[in-house]
Amino acid sequence: MAASVPAEATRRRYKKLLARFAAQPVPVWVRGFRGPFEEPGCDVAQIFEASVAKGDSKASLFEWASQYMDGDGLSNIVVPVMRFDGDGRADIHYGLLLGDPSDAAKLARENPTKDPGHFPFKVQGIVLEAEEQSWREQRAHLSSAFLPGQQLKPLLPTLQRGVSELLDRWAGLQGPLEAHDELHHAALDFFLQAMIGAKGLLPPTPRESLAIREAFNLDGVNLEDLPRTEATRLEFALRVLRCGATPPGPLLERLLSIDDDEKRVSSVKDFLTAGHDTTAHTLEWVLLELARHPEVQEACRMEAESIFGELGGRSLCYEDLLRFEVTSAVIFETLRLWGPAWTVFRRELTADRSFGGRVGGVTVPQGTAVNFWFYGHHHSAKLWGPDACEFRPLSRDFSDAELQRGTSRTPSSERFHPFSLPGRDCMGKNFSLMEMRLLLPQMLCRFRVQLAEPWRQQLEGLKCGSGDLFHGLIQKPGPAKPPKGLCFELEPLHLASQLPSARELTAMERSRL
């Protein structure tokens, strides 16, 4: 959860928390790890206060990981975390940040329990459900909505029509493409049409959908914004449940069968955020990197032109999507470099566990909050080579499994887990990949993508992991994302003639697909 800079009215509350934190003895296990508390006699209150002042927790975690993690960011450190008890009272605790890939993978498999102290209220939706048995029951019930063959494959015509309509609208834009609003609007609309089965739930334009999108945007996952947007979230979630889609989409069908009203509504709100926001952020980064690397953009375009030429005018089927290997490499390299999940929602240890410390294993007590430092895994020169912080999709040494070559299994290895680690990873991962593999090749056949001014000059020096531009981006709440207002010029191309229009798709191959 993002830790926003406290307003003046809340500083007194922080002062009391800091005083109480500083007065407590440092647990013995904390001394077994490196981190900002490692210096004897350090001012623990000042350490936490300075981290809050940075604007977002990931900025502090990046600084601490860079300073204290040994082995190229692949060790474990102790960091401060804010947690809430069952009555909503806040306190500061010592938590563990896992940079060691093997420790992270083992914990992900064996300890799926989320930290119930994320928010000052109980959360029952699938994403943050802390009670393990309840989560397992929800996961088993809802995850079947995202099975590639049985559920996602029949949705491709719906997504294809949405993509064609979107690209037709972009072709008529009078000016540059405003990436954030356009992509977030499109991703949420695609999700509603395909997984819920209802067209028209979202207002037709990005301007009209702004209030809804802001309510379900990860930028708003902080305590200051939640009360302001809760009424919009609740109202729209109820609209989704009552939309009367016939037949209902695979996810809506399962949501409607949840008996508990609170869990049903909470899960809808979770999916409306997770089902579009991270995909849209990833697409923003993809377009930015393609605009900055025209040779990569051209490689994607040549691949798409060749595949569409072989199709001879027929629309894509689900099996065709894995043929876009260059596009897939671009997507996965973007997820590695700029992926939205530097960390995830914390876990709480359900038993004492041993983790690699300064020297050997250190036993960390039950109840400790633990998180994963995925940024370190994805940017380690030890794991990826000296160009780990550069965009190199055409030469990156991804394994076949990491690129989904010869398999439909979602990529996950100790060094690369763009959808989190197995055990409690993203249920919508295959839907997200289907969207991106469908949109990008067709977009690049219709348009050449270039940064609009003044962004071309302003972002010229952007480099992942260093520089003022990078540090400015990570201080903002939510996932690391391109600057708001980023715009692209779309130059029309002749290759669009190979693609079926939205009107043609209405009559083409629906039953076969």
Query: Dihedral of the CA atoms 422, 373, 327, 412 (nearest 10)?
Result: -20
- What's the rounded Cα separation, in Å, for the pair 47 and 60? 10
What are 488's strand-pairing partners?
Answer: 177, 451
- Known binding residue 426? Answer is yes
Strands 447-451 and 177-178: unpaired
Specify burial of residue 504 (Cβ count, 10 A radius: 0-12, 13-18, 19+).
middle
Q: Is 438 helix (H, G, I), strand (E, B) or coil?
A: helix
Sign of the Cα pseudo-torsion (503, 506, 507, 512, in order): positive
- What's the rounded Cα separation, in Å, for the pair 116 and 101? 24
> Do 66 and 73 form a contact (C-beta atoms < 8 A)?
yes
Q: Is 457 helix (H, G, I), strand (E, B) or coil?
A: helix
The token pair that represents 38 in the structure block: 């490692």
Query: Dihedral of the CA atoms 150, 154, 159, 165 (nearest 10)?
Result: 180
- What's the rounded Cα separation, in Å, for the pair 154 and 178? 31
Phi-psi region of 423 (alpha: psi -120 to 50; beta: other; left: phi over 0): left
What are 371's strand-pairing partners?
Answer: 97
Residue position matching structure tokens 């009078």: 174
- What's the rounded Cα separation, in Å, for the pair 338 and 444? 21
Residue position matching structure tokens 């490196």: 34
Specify burial of residue 426 (Cβ count, 10 A radius: 0-12, 13-18, 19+).
buried
- What's the rounded Cα separation, in Å, for the pair 446 and 104? 42
Specify burial of residue 112 (Cβ count, 10 A radius: 0-12, 13-18, 19+).
middle
- What's the rounded Cα separation, in Å, for the pair 285 and 293? 12
> Do 412 and 452 form a contact (C-beta atoms < 8 A)?
no
* Peptide bond just before 247 cis, omega within 30 deg: yes
Binding site: residue ranges?
426
Binding site for heme: residue ranges?
426
